Amino acid sequence: MKRQPNQLIGLALVLLLVTATLGFAGGRTETAAAAGDVIAIEYWDENNQHGIFDANHPQSVAFAEQFGIVWESPMVSWNGGTDYLQQLRLRIAAGDLPDIFMPWGGIEQELIDNGAVADLTDLIQEEMPAFYSNVAPEIWDFIRSLSPDGQSIYVLPSVQFTPLGGMIRGDWLDRLGLDVPTTVDEYVEVLRAFRDQDASGDGNPNNEIPTSGREGGRWMDHLFAPFGIAMVEGFPEWDIYDGELQYSAVQPAMRSAIEWIRGLYAEGLLDPETFINTNQVWMGKITGDLVGSWYHGTHWSPARFTTLYNAGVTDVRLDYLPMLSHPDYEGFMTTTDYRRPGYVFGAHMTEEAIRRTMRAIEFVNDPATIEERNIGYEGVNFLIENGQEVRLSTADFLALGTGYRPALGAQLLSDAETTIRTNEFQMSLLSGPDDPSYRAVDNANRLIAAYSQDTVRSIAGQFLPPSIYEGYPDIRTHRLFQEYVARIIVGDWEIDRFDEFVERWYRSGGREVTERAQAAYAALQ
């Protein structure tokens, strides 16, 4: 029987569909293969800061020559860490880990306990001597405590300098003839002036938002700090209260802080939309010349500065808002020497691959190589035209909100000095104070310098293993705190309900988690 042509086409289509269905369900395609003696390294972290780069990227090409590795960072959606974690868990489930990656959400403990990541103990001092010696011994002690024998190193810690602090619009203060406030009372007066007068100078005295924060009560730490609340990016942290390690959210000081902020909200000094502000909306208000003071990374401020400048606010100036003193409390700005786990190496990597990768990471983090790194890479930081080095514009870096990045990725170590030096190097490439980028970076350096002089303290709870939260997801995510803080501040609930929160927090697992945290803390001491 002769087949009809349309039947054949139909059959082909069916086969195509079946193959496609099976194909999509199949494993991932190989992203990189070792070429010659060069080893491909798939590298994952929150690449929203440095973007994606592949084997053809100038830095990857340079690394291939310098260290014998091809550095590839594929696009991994971040979304506050949730998308990243989801994709990482997918790769774990498939038994196909990236070569080196940043653990997130406390997953490092699970990885170590299950032997999924490589033991770096024997290699680290050999291959990364500068990094090893520049990280404080107590941080290494903590890193070792994560291992089953308490002696091994599985994680490279991130100890990046992160100057998160309060900022206030200096040009607004100038316009109203006010000084930078230093006490909570002065701050309230300034906020009132922002609310009542045309601080932004746009002719409308009613559109200023004196201060703002983000959903979940996040990114408004400058309002909690005067009360001595340990808090990082809006998440309450663990510190010593009454001589014991405790969760800062359930302390009487927190009640006072919430009560004070509630008053600000009622007076219209805190953005009424604070608790529904997403990152984008909040940022849009700041760069829309609407917000008078906020809390964020002072080192990230050039992006805000230039956006404001380009929108026509040519006299923009950001002043550092110091930790506001309070008559009844000893306040401080929270910081952690140990930021987070930096990178782990997949257990599937060969020793040679680990060694070479370590050498690259050592180079990227060694304070001695900063000048070399500042020069950067051809095609990224400069071009060669007619035999002359032509520096690329820094506007792209500023637009990314990251400042000038001498090398891409795997940055774990920095301090105030190296940050300021890198910024100064960047300024030296610019024409001078007439250039808005120059002014933005200069402004950031002043903020960073002021931050370094402020009452900033490392908290006792920075070295807590993620395992203390096991079985208590709501405690880990601060869910109960976020619900109560929002509803009390907006006036839905009376301040008395704070006591109910404390009681509920302890009852829903807070007691067990506190015991575990105290035991872990005692063990490290």
Question: Which residues contribute to the site for other proteins (CB under 8 A)?
Answer: 7, 10-11, 14, 17-18, 21-22, 25, 82, 85-86, 89, 92-93, 105, 107, 110, 114-116, 215-217, 272-273, 275-276, 470, 473-474, 476-477, 479, 482-483, 485-487, 490, 492, 507-508
Structural element, H or E, at residue 104: none
In the complex, minimum distance from the CB of residue 141 to other proteins, in angstroms, rounded to a whole number: 26
In this structure, the chain runs to a length of: 525
Q: Cα(33)–Cα(40) distance, rounded to whole angstroms?
A: 6
Which CB sits closer to other proteins, 380 or 488?
Answer: 488
DSSP for 123-166, written as a single string? HHHHH-HHHHHHS-HHHHHHHHHTSTTSS---EEEEB----EEE
In the complex, minimum distance from the CB of residue 375 to other proteins, in angstroms, rounded to a whole number: 42
Q: What is the CA radius of gyration of the chain?
A: 26
Which CB sits closer to other proteins, 216 or 436?
Answer: 216
**Closest alpha carbon to 157 in 134, 180, 184:** 134
Residue type at position 335: T
| Phi, psi torsion values for 167, nearest 5 degrees | -130, 150
In the complex, minimum distance from the CB of residue 289 to other proteins, in angstroms, rounded to a whole number: 15
Strands in 251-368 per DSSP E = 291-297, 318-321, 333-335, 340-345
For residue 455, count other CB atoms closer than 10 A to its CB: 14
Give all strands of the β-sheet with 155-158 in edge-to-edge order: 69-72, 39-44, 100-101, 340-345, 155-158
Which CB sits closer to other proteins, 25 or 368?
Answer: 25
In the complex, minimum distance from the CB of residue 115 to other proteins, in angstroms, rounded to a whole number: 8
Q: Please, are residues 246 and 521 in contact by the beta-carbon 8 Å criterion?
A: no
In the complex, minimum distance from the CB of residue 511 to other proteins, in angstroms, rounded to a whole number: 13
DSSP for 335-387, written as a single string? E-SS-EEEEEEBTTS-HHHHHHHHHHHHHHH-GGGHHHHHH--BTTTEEEETT
In the complex, minimum distance from the CB of residue 125 to other proteins, in angstroms, rounded to a whole number: 29
Residue 32 neighbours by CB under 8 Å, 6+ apart: 40, 41, 42, 55, 70, 72
In the complex, minimum distance from the CB of residue 491 to other proteins, in angstroms, rounded to a whole number: 11
Which CB sits closer to other proteins, 21 or 453?
Answer: 21
Q: How many CA atoms lie within 13 A of 376 on its CB side?
A: 24
Q: Please, are residues 199 and 292 in contact by the beta-carbon 8 Å criterion?
A: yes
Q: Cα(66)–Cα(356) distance, rounded to whole angstroms?
A: 10
Which CB sits closer to other proteins, 101 or 451?
Answer: 101
| Burial tier of 151 (Cβ tally within 10 Å: 0-12, 13-18, 19+) | exposed
Which CB sits closer to other proteins, 178 or 347?
Answer: 347
Q: Cα(211)–Cα(203) distance, rounded to whole angstroms?
A: 19
Residue type at position 65: E
In the complex, minimum distance from the CB of residue 242 to other proteins, in angstroms, rounded to a whole number: 27
Q: Please, are residues 249 and 478 in contact by the beta-carbon 8 Å criterion?
A: yes
For residue 50, count other CB atoms closer than 10 A to its CB: 18
Which CB sits closer to other proteins, 110 or 337?
Answer: 110
In the complex, minimum distance from the CB of residue 449 to other proteins, in angstroms, rounded to a whole number: 36
Which CB sits closer to other proteins, 13 or 383?
Answer: 13
363, 368, 370, 373: CA torsion to nearest 10: -40
Which CB sits closer to other proteins, 171 or 215?
Answer: 215
In the complex, minimum distance from the CB of residue 275 to other proteins, in angstroms, rounded to a whole number: 6
In the complex, minimum distance from the CB of residue 347 to other proteins, in angstroms, rounded to a whole number: 10
Residue type at position 468: I
Which CB sits closer to other proteins, 151 or 507?
Answer: 507
In the complex, minimum distance from the CB of residue 294 to other proteins, in angstroms, rounded to a whole number: 18
